[in-house]
Chain A
Amino acid sequence: MEEADAQTVEENAPVAAFPWLPEGCEAMADGEYDAIVMGTGLKECIMSGLLSTMGKKVLHVDRNNYYGADSASLNLSNLYAKFNGGAEPPQQFYEALGHNRDFNVDLIPKCIMACGKLVKMLLHTKVTRYLEFKSLDASYVYRNGKVYKVPATATEALSSSLLGLFEKRRFRKFLMYVANYEHGNPKTYEGHDLTKETMNELYEKFGLEKATREFVGHAMALRLDDKYLDEPALPAFEAIKLYCYSLDRYGKSPYIYPMYGLGGLPEGFSRLCAIHGGTFMLNRSIDEVLFDKDGKAWGVRGGNQVAKADIVLGDPSYFPNKRTKVGRVVRSICFLSHPIPNTNNAESLQIIIPAAQVGRTHDIYVVMVSNSHQVTAPGKYVAICSTTVETDNPTTELEPALAILGSIMTKFDDVVDLYEPANGDGSQDHCFISTSFDATSHFETTSNDVLDLYFKVTGARLDLTINADSTKGDY
C-alpha cells in the first residue's frame, strides 16, 4: 500500500508508457505486478490468495468468463454448452432436471477431508468465513459388485457385514491401535517402529485379511495404488489416523463439502486475493508468455496488452510448451432422480471401488451430491464417476461404477489429458506451473501440489500448524 502512495499516478493522465512495453502494445491493467496468475482453478486461486497476503501485487486472469477453470461448478446451461460445442440445451432438458440456477455441477468431483490439509489452508487464510460447509452423509466401499459403508469406528466394525466375525475383532484391535498411536510418544508404539516397518508387515501383525487391507488402504488411507504396502508404514498410517480423526469430528463421514459446490473454493481464495489488492480479469485470453533472451519469463501478452511480473504462474493450459502429458482421466457426470441404491438413501456420499475388485490398476471413484448441498434441484442427484484411463476405450472403464448407480437420466462423458510441468522447479524460467487435477475424489493430492508450488515460488514451506478442529476462522 505505501508503495502505491509513493508513486501516485494522475487519474486522467494518459497511461505512462512503460519502457518495457513492446512496440504497439499497451499495459494490461496496471502493467507492473509482482505475480501474474493464469487460470482461476483452485490451485491458482490458493496461490494468488497466499501471494497477495504476503504483500505481493497480483494480476489474476482467466480466458473464461467464469471463475474456477477446471474446478468450476456449472449451472445446467453452461454444463450443456461445455459438452455440446456451446449449444443451448433443449427445453426438455430443463423440464427433466429443473431450474438452471438450482444447479452447481462440479467439473471435477472431490470431497474435502474434514481435518485435512485443504481445511488447514482454508482456516489459515480465514477463507472459511466466505463459505459454508456441510458434511457428506457417508463413505462407501465396493466389494464383489455391492457397496458397503466403510466401517471406521469400533461400533461400525462390529455391525459391518463387510467383515467376518473374527475379522471384526482383529480390525477393532487395529482401530484402537490407530486411535492411541501418537507419533513422537514411544509409549504408544506398542513395539512397532512405523518408520521402518512396512504397511504389509503391520497388517500382518494384526492378522488383517487381504480384503480388509484393501478397504483400509484405498477407502481410508486413500492410497492411489498398492505401492504403499511395501513402503514404511508411517505415511499411510497417518492417513488412516486422519480419516478416523475427521470422522470422529463430524460423525457421518470424514468428508465435508461446500454448499453450492466446489466452485466456491477458488472463488473464496480469489476474494482473499482481491481484498489484499489483487486485480482480476475474466474473459481475458493470454496469447503468450514473454521470455527474455535467457529464457526467463518476464510477462504475458493478450492481444495488444502486456503485463510484466517476476513470477508467472498458471495451470498447464497456459504453458503449452512447458508441460508433459502424464496420462488421461475419464469422468462421467450422471444425473439421477433417486439416491444411489443400497446406500441407506444417503443424500451425499463417496464410493471407492478398489482397483483390484474390478481387475484394474487404478481405483474408480464416485462422488454423489444433491439438493442438500444446493447443487441440484430438489429430488435430483448428480453422481460423478472418475478414474485414470488404462485402455483405448475410456468410457467403458467406468462401467462398474455406472452399474451401481441405478437408472441414469442423462450423462456427460469427459476424457481429459493430465499434465505435469516440464520445467523443473521453475527457478530457471520463472514459470510456475500446477499439475492437472487427478482422478482421486479427495483433495489430499491437490493440497500437496499447492504446497509444492508454494515452495517453488517462495522458497519457504507454508506453515500449516493451525488446528483444523476449530471449525470457524475468526472474524
Chain B
Amino acid sequence: MASGTGRVCHFKLVLLGDTAVGKSCLVVRFVRDEFFEFQEPTIGAAFLTQSVNLENATVKFEIWDTAGQERYRSLAPMYYRGAAAAIVVYDITNKESFNGAKSWVKELQRRGDPNVVIALAGNKADLHTKRRVEYEEAQKYAEENCILHMETSAKNATNVKDLFREIGEVMYVIDLNQMSRQLGSCPNPLLNQKGKHFRSYREPKNNDNKACC
C-alpha cells in the first residue's frame, strides 16, 4: 500500500493573514511563477490548483485565497472546512501583521480541523533592510505552537516553492498514515479528515541570511 509511486493526493490549502502581506502574490508566484508589483486586491487568485511533485507522489493543492470576507473577520466556515493545511502570512516589515498572524493561528485552531497543518510564512523577505519582525522571534513562536515557519519572498521567489513542497511532504506522510489506518474507506480526502492525528513539526531551512538580489 505504502509504495506510493505515482500516487496523487488532493488537499485543500487556505491562506490567512492581514491585508497586503502578500498572500495572493505567494499563490501567484507558486502557481504561475509570476509577480506583480501592483497585485490587485484578490479576485482572480482566489481559487487555484497546483501540484508539487515529490519523490514518489504528487500532491495536488486546491488553494483558497481569502477574498474580502476576512476584512471584518467574517470568513464563512466553509473556508476553513476540510482544509488540510493553512499558510498564515505576515509581512516581515510590519510588526502589526505578525500580531495579526498570531490571532489568525488562534482562529484556525478554534474553527478549523483540529489536525490542520499550519505553516507561518514571513513574506517580503527581500525587504530585509526594513525588517521589523526578527526571524528568531517568529521561529520561537512557531516552535511553541508546533507549526512550520519559513521566510519567503514572492517578489524574488525565495522559498516559495520550498514552502509548498515542505507542506506537501507533511501532507503526503499524513495521507500515508491515514491510508494504512483506514484501508478501503472513502477515497475523497476532503471528506475524510477524521482519524488524522499528525502534528507537523519540521526544522525550517534556515534562510534568514540567504542573500537576495
Contacts and interface: CB of A to CB of B under 8 A. Distances in A.
Nearest first, the 10 closest Cβ-Cβ pairs linking A and B are A267-B76, A274-B68, A267-B78, A274-B67, A280-B74, A282-B74, A275-B46, A281-B72, A275-B67, A280-B69
A373 to B, nearest CB: 10
Interface in B76-97: 76-79, 81
Interface string B58-77: 00000000011101111011
Nearest to B20: A11
A284 B69 CA distance: 13
Contact of B47 (A129, A279, A280): A129
B176 interface: no
B190 A132 contact: yes
Contact of B191 (A132, A271, A278, A282): A132
Interface string A273-292: 01111111111100000000
Nearest to B40: A1
A95 B78 CA distance: 27
19 contacts: A1-B40, A29-B71, A29-B72, A67-B77, A129-B47, A131-B78, A132-B190, A270-B69, A271-B69, A275-B43, A275-B67, A275-B68, A277-B41, A277-B68, A279-B71, A280-B74, A281-B72, A282-B73, A475-B49
A264 B74 contact: no
A270 B190 contact: no
Interface in A249-267: 259-260, 263-264, 267
A83 interface: no
Interface residues of A, number: 29
A268 interface: yes
A206 interface: no
Interface of A: 1, 29, 66-67, 129-132, 259-260, 263-264, 267-268, 270-271, 274-284, 374, 475
Q: Which of B47, B73, B78 has the most CB of A within 10 A?
A: B78
A282 B76 CA distance: 10
Contacts of B43: 1, 275-277
A350 to B, nearest CB: 22
Given A130-B78, A274-B67, A280 B190 contact: no
Most buried by A among B69, B72, B77: B69
A152 B187 CA distance: 31
A129 B42 CA distance: 18
A29 B42 CA distance: 17
Contact of B68 (A67, A130, A132, A279): A279
A279 B72 contact: yes
B20 to A, nearest CB: 9
A67 B73 CA distance: 12
Given A129-B47, A132-B190, A277-B43, A271 B79 contact: yes
Nearest to B72: A281
Most chain B beta carbons < 10 A, residue from A280, A281, A374: A280
Nearest to A73: B77
A267 to B, nearest CB: 4
Contacts of B79: 271
Contacts of A284: 72
A357 to B, nearest CB: 38
Contact of A268 (B41, B78, B191): B78
Given A275-B43, A275-B46, A281 B74 contact: yes
Contacts of A475: 47, 49
Given A1-B40, A259-B191, A260-B81, A67 B76 contact: yes
Nearest to B65: A275
Contacts of A274: 46, 67-69
Contacts of A275: 42-43, 46-47, 67-68
Given A259-B191, A475-B49, A271 B40 contact: no
Interface string B27-49: 00000000000001111001101
B38 to A, nearest CB: 9
B72 A282 contact: yes
A264 B76 CA distance: 9
Nearest to A266: B76
Nearest to A278: B68
B138 to A, nearest CB: 24
Contacts of B72: 29, 279-282, 284
B81 A271 contact: no
A52 to B, nearest CB: 9
Contacts of B77: 66-67, 263, 267
A132 B187 CA distance: 14
A129 B46 CA distance: 12
B33 to A, nearest CB: 19
Contacts of B47: 129, 275, 475
Contacts of B74: 280-283
A259 B46 CA distance: 22
Contacts of B40: 1
B98 to A, nearest CB: 19
A280 B81 contact: no
A156 to B, nearest CB: 29
Nearest to A65: B74
Nearest to A129: B47
A284 B46 CA distance: 25
A430 B191 CA distance: 43
A264 B68 contact: no
Given A274-B67, A275-B67, A277-B43, A264 B78 contact: yes
Nearest to B114: A101
